[in-house]
């Protein structure tokens, strides 16, 4: 993760783009990239979108990851720790014996 973060930060620094990357605009950009990902599925079955737009899907996922790494870096979040902490919370909210095979939100389990 650190190597990837160093790489995306170096990419940005080389272009002098940090000046545009305040947390609000990074959050907006992350969301826009997630929307571009979503757009690939519009009016198609999941299977068709994945088979027809596989390279685009890869690009949009990478774009979301790019902004996620930059935002975590800029606001000082250890993304690896954040994910592990969140998984722990989800394990508490969704105990296997209650959540197995269920699509209910934890508040409804």
- 56 counts as binding Mg ion under rule CB under 5 A: no
| The CA-based dihedral angle spanning residues 57, 62, 67, 69, taken in that order and rounded to the nearest 10 degrees | 140
Among the listed ranges 4-12, 23-31, 36-44, 45-53, the one in contact with Mg ion (CB under 5 A) is 36-44
Minimum separation from the CB atom of position 60 to Mg ion (A): 5
Minimum separation from the CB atom of position 36 to Mg ion (A): 4
- 75 close to 30: Cβ distance less than 8 angstroms: no
The residue with tokens 């609000």 is: 24
- 36 counts as binding Mg ion under rule CB under 5 A: yes
Residues at the site binding Mg ion, with contacts judged by CB under 5 A: 33, 36, 60, 63
């Amino acid at each position: 993760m650190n190597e990837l973060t160093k790489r995306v930060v170096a990419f940005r620094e080389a272009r002098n783009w940090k000046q545009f990357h305040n947390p609000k605009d990074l959050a907006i950009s992350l969301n826009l990239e997630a929307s571009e990902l979503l757009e690939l599925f519009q009016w198609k079955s999941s299977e068709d979108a994945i088979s027809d737009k596989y390279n685009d899907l890869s690009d949009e996922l990478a774009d979301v990851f790019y902004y996620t790494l930059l935002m975590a870096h800029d606001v000082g979040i250890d993304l690896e720790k954040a994910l592990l902490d969140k998984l722990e919370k989800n394990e508490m909210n969704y105990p296997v014996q209650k959540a197995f095979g269920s699509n209910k939100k934890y508040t409804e389990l």
